[in-house]
Structure 1
Amino acid sequence: SLQSSRFVKVIRARNERGAVVVKLFVKQDNTVSYTKYIRRIRDINSRLKGVHNAQGFERVIDTDRLVAVVRQYHFSSLYDRISTRPFLSYVEKQWISFQLLAGLADAHALGVCHGDIKTENVLVTSWCWALLADFASFKPTFLPQDNPAAFAFFFDTSGRRTCCVAPERFYNPQTDKQTIAAVLVSETDEFREGDLTPAMDIFSLGCVIAELFTESHALFSFAQLLAYRKGEYDITDTLNRIRDPEVRNLVAHMVQLDPTKRSSARACLKLWRGKAFPEQF
Structure 2
Amino acid sequence: MAVGGGGEEGEMEKDFEAKLRVQQGGGSVQRTNSIAFRAPQEQFSINDFELGRIYGVGSYSKVVRAKKKDTGNVYALKIMDKKFITKENKISNVKLERIVLDQLDHPGIIRLCFTFQDTYSLYMALESCEGGELFDQITRKGRLSEDEARFYAAEVIDALESLHGVGIIHRDIKPENLLLTLDGHIKIADFGSVKPTRDARITVLPDAATNDEKPCTFVGTAAYIPPEVLNSSPPTFGNDIWALGCTLYQMLSGSSPFKDASEWLIFQRIIARDLRFPEYFSDEARDLIDKLLDTDPSKRLGAGPDGYDALKKHPFFRGIDWKNIRKAPAPKLAVDTSAGENEDQDSTWNLNIPTSHSAAPEGNNCAPSSSETQSHMSRLTSIDSFDSKCRRRFCHLKMRSSVHGNGRRRSKVSNAAESHTYWKRTSAAPKAFQEMLDGVSKNYKFIQKLMDFFFFIIFFLPQIDLERSFFFFFFSFSIRS
SS in 2 for 1:219: coil
1:143 is displaced (CA, Å) by 7.4
Partner of 1:40: 96
1:199 equivalent to 2:247? Answer: no
Partner of 2:55: 2
Deviation digits for residues 161-193 of structure 1 (CA, Å, limit 9, x no counterpart): x6112222224xxxx6xxx6xxxxxxxxxxxxx
1:58 is displaced (CA, Å) by 2.9
Partner of 1:159: none
Partner of 1:83: 139
**What are the residue-to-residue correspondences of 1:48-127 with 2, within 5 Å?**
48-49=104-105, 51-74=106-129, 75-84=131-140, 88-127=144-183
1:155 is displaced (CA, Å) by 4.9
Whether the 8 Å contact between 2:155 and 2:186 is mirrored in structure 1 is yes
**2: CA distance, partners of 1:97 / 1:104:** 10
Whether the 8 Å contact between 2:94 and 2:192 is mirrored in structure 1 is no
Partner of 1:28: 84
**1: CA distance, partners of 2:120 / 2:95:** 18
SS in 2 for 1:240: coil
1:163 equivalent to 2:220? Answer: no
Whether the 8 Å contact between 2:60 and 2:84 is mirrored in structure 1 is no
**1: CA distance, partners of 2:256 / 2:292:** 15
CA distance 1:10–1:126, change in 2 (3 Å) = closer
1:254 is displaced (CA, Å) by 1.2
Whether the 8 Å contact between 1:143 and 1:169 is mirrored in structure 2 is no
1:98 is displaced (CA, Å) by 0.7
1:212 equivalent to 2:267? Answer: no
Q: What letter corresponds to residue 227 of structure 1 in structure 2?
A: Q
Q: What letter corresponds to residue 127 of structure 2 in structure 1?
A: Q
CA distance 1:142–1:264, change in 2 (3 Å) = farther
Selected match of 2:274 from 234, 240, 253: 234
Larger strand share, 1 or 2:
1
Q: Normalised by the size of structure 2, how large is the TM-score?
A: 0.45
Q: Identical aligned pairs, as a percentage?
A: 21
Whether the 8 Å contact between 2:64 and 2:78 is mirrored in structure 1 is yes
1:228 is displaced (CA, Å) by 3.2
Please give the root-mean-square deviation of Cα atoms over the aligned residues, in Å: 3.2
CA distance 1:268–1:253, change in 2 (3 Å) = farther
1:273 equivalent to 2:329? Answer: no
Whether the 8 Å contact between 1:56 and 1:134 is mirrored in structure 2 is no
Whether the 8 Å contact between 1:25 and 1:68 is mirrored in structure 2 is yes
SS in 1 for 2:158: helix
CA distance 1:93–1:143, change in 2 (3 Å) = farther
**2: CA distance, partners of 1:168 / 1:36:** 25
Structure of higher CA gyration radius: 2
**2: CA distance, partners of 1:196 / 1:59:** 29
Partner of 1:137: 193
SS in 2 for 1:28: helix
CA distance 1:17–1:42, change in 2 (3 Å) = farther
**1: CA distance, partners of 2:95 / 2:59:** 23
CA distance 1:274–1:3, change in 2 (3 Å) = closer
Selected match of 1:223 from 259, 264, 271: 264
CA distance 1:37–1:83, change in 2 (3 Å) = closer
SS in 2 for 1:25: strand
1:276 is displaced (CA, Å) by 0.5
1:4 is displaced (CA, Å) by 3.4
**2: CA distance, partners of 1:11 / 1:141:** 31
Selected match of 1:248 from 286, 291, 311: 286
Moved more, 203-212 or 11-20: 11-20
CA distance 1:213–1:88, change in 2 (3 Å) = closer
Whether the 8 Å contact between 1:60 and 1:70 is mirrored in structure 2 is yes
* Structure 1 portions without partners, runs of 5+: 146-150, 157-161, 181-194
**1: CA distance, partners of 2:279 / 2:127:** 34
**2: CA distance, partners of 1:86 / 1:144:** 35
**2: CA distance, partners of 1:211 / 1:73:** 24
Number of residue pairs aligned between Structure 1 and Structure 2: 243
CA distance 1:249–1:85, change in 2 (3 Å) = closer
1:89 is displaced (CA, Å) by 4.1
1:229 is displaced (CA, Å) by 4.5
1:206 is displaced (CA, Å) by 1.0
SS in 1 for 2:155: helix
Whether the 8 Å contact between 1:45 and 1:58 is mirrored in structure 2 is no
Q: Report 1 or 2 for greater relative contact order, CA contacts < 8 Å, sequence distance ≥ 6.
A: 1
